[in-house]
Structure 1
Amino acid sequence: MEDNIFARIVRGEIPCHKVWEDEKHLAFLDIRPVQPGHTLVIAKADGDYLFDLEPQRYGELMQAVRTVARLLKERTGCQRVVEVVLGYEVPHAHVHLIPTHSMADLPPILGTPADPAELATLAARLRQGA
């Protein structure tokens, strides 16, 4: 059984500001929000890396994310809810949902322009065996 902060929240050992819940998932406000309403959606069951979840669990989590995103959009009046998956900060599968009105509501996330030759080389390597 995991012993990270999200597992402890699921077990009721640490309080959270819950906004939605079903039998398998929990959504609560982030304690370091990018914007008001920044919400984390987690699976209640253990599982560190989102992309290692079994396909059914992954699909169920994404359905929960969609449900919570709709709730946030409706109740905050934002233009869009942005979905962000980081994957390093807590070793428990989770998705960030951030209500936004424009790109200005988000921290800088765009990189610098890449060299076209480097992009072509990388794309060819990624296609190998696909």
Structure 2
Amino acid sequence: MAAIYDDQNIFARILRGEIPCHKVFENDDAIVIMDAMPQSPGHCLIIPKAPSRNLLDADPAALARLVPLVQKVAQAATVAFEADGINIMQFNEAPAGQTVFHLHIHVIPRRDGVPLKPHTGGMAPAEVLAAGAQKLTAALAAL
């Protein structure tokens, strides 16, 4: 039996404006926000507005509109955070590491030789997230 989408998950609540976030970009299909618990400087999330638990139950048309945005955000993050590489991560169900059950894609800038920080649940200071959002927003605008 397939799991049911819960519209009270944190990302659904962010999309409805019930919970604040550090927004980088928004269009009709998705929002890009800074990850509140970044594993590296510039770690952000791309969250589609269409409700789905993850990739397994997402509308293929919504996915088709999402991928070009993921690419653009990855390109901007590479520039903004002087990244040597980029991790694109997406998890499907708890055994695979998914903790928020609304489809989202992580874009994580990487520096050569610098390991990812653990995802411990500790939130980054608001000023760090705001500065990262500003840098990424500027880089997106320049593309």
Does TM, normalized by the shorter one, top 0.5?
Answer: yes
Tell me which residue corresponds to 1:93: 103
Q: Which amino acid aligns with 1:98?
A: I
Structure 2, unaligned runs of 5 or more: 1-5, 93-97, 119-143
In 1, the alpha carbon distance for the partners of 2:87 and 2:113 equals: 10
Kindly state the Cα deviation for residue 34 of structure 1 after the two structures are TM-superposed.
0.4
Tell me which residue corresponds to 2:79: 74
Q: Looking at CA atoms only, which structure, 1 or 2, has the larger radius of gyration?
A: 1
Give secondary structure in 2 for the equivalent of 1:105. coil
Tell me which residue corresponds to 2:115: 105
Q: Does 1:36 align with 2:36?
A: no
Q: Using structure 2 for the length normalisation, give the TM-score.
A: 0.69
Which aligned runs of 4 or more in structure 1 are off by greater than 4 angstroms? none
In 1, the alpha carbon distance for the partners of 2:50 and 2:113 equals: 33
Higher relative contact order (CA 8 A, sep 6+): 2
Return closer, same or farther for 1:33/1:107 CA change in 2, 3 Å cut-off.
closer
> Given the alignment, which residue of 7, 12, 20 partners 2:12?
7
Tell me which residue corresponds to 1:53: 58
Q: Does 1:22 align with 2:27?
A: yes
| Identical-residue share of aligned pairs (%) | 37
In 1, the alpha carbon distance for the partners of 2:28 and 2:112 equals: 33
When the two chains are superposed, the root-mean-square deviation of aligned CA atoms in Å is 1.8
The total of aligned residue pairs comes to 108
In 1, the alpha carbon distance for the partners of 2:18 and 2:34 equals: 16
Deviations 1:55-104 (A, max 9, x none): 21112112221111111112111111210112321010001110001264
Give secondary structure in 2 for the equivalent of 1:45. coil
Structure 1, unaligned runs of 5 or more: 109-130
Give secondary structure in 1 for the equivalent of 2:25. strand
Return closer, same or farther for 1:80/1:45 CA change in 2, 3 Å cut-off.
same
